[in-house]
Amino acid sequence: MIIYVVTDSGKNAMGGGFYAHKFVLEETSGDICLIIRYNQLTLEFLRELKPLAVCHSGGGTSYDEYDVLQNKDYKEAVTKWDGPQIGFCGGHQIIAHMFGSTLGKIRTLREGDADHNPGYHPGQFKEWGVYPVQILKRDPLFDGFVQVVKVQEFHVDEVKELGAELELLASSDNCRIQAFKHRSKPIYGTQFHPEQASANYPDGFQILKNYFKIARDFKHSQNQTN
């Protein structure tokens, strides 16, 4: 089993989009997927259920508009569980913050910048659509790719500086921290949305398959040790 944690608090936080992501996660993992809210996740729950992996969603609500960063049970689950985790977009930002990173808006719009979604945080620059992301460090998450992945992006916030426990894996022209991993745990974050890949831009599907292989390899290594 894998767990998909909805990190958003908005009125549509358990809407149809997250169920579409659930099917993508099931297809790429070959496992069943349980959807829960972030305020239902606890360390005890993870240790009892022993999921293959935990995926943390993005969402339309900015991290500073609700209690997700202050929720003690959720933070304990993220930082103290030893199993594989990955965060997408907002989930990437939340995990990074819980390991000592700083967050903020990408930047205000400059003269000549296009606002690709003027109704969402007007006046702020956004990555909105499909963007090339440069792979900076070789990692199993990017197996099968050489230098660039083309992935879906929908965000106004970003990780500004990574905490000491995290290392940078990928970057784009307007967002320096596009992917990271924990230095000693199987924890990843992607600012982009691999769960929203498509037939025209399928790189996210392969990234998810790579991640679930990482999770299975970790589980196998743990079984060998125990």
How would you write the pLDDT of the chain (226 residues) with one tens digit per residue?
Answer: 999 999 987 655 555 588 899 999 999 999 999 999 999 999 999 999 999 999 999 988 888 888 899 999 999 999 999 999 999 999 999 999 999 999 999 999 999 998 989 999 999 999 999 999 999 999 999 999 999 999 999 999 999 999 999 999 999 999 999 999 999 999 999 999 999 999 999 999 999 999 999 999 999 998 887 6
Beta strands in 40-147 (DSSP E): 53-56, 85-88, 102-105, 127-135
Known catalytic residue at 193:
yes
Please return the burial class of 42, using the count of CB atoms within 10 Å of its CB with bins 0-12, 13-18 and 19+.
middle
Residue 56 is a catalytic residue = no
The CA angle 21-26-28, to the nearest 5 degrees, is 95
Catalytic hit among 89, 97, 153, 182: 89
CB under 8 Å to 172, separation ≥6 — which residues? 127, 131, 132, 133, 134, 153, 178
Cβ-contact 214, 222 below 8 angstroms: no
Residue 195 catalytic? yes
Domains of the chain: 2-225 (3.40.50.880)
Question: How far is 5 from 207, CA to CA, in rounded Å?
Answer: 19
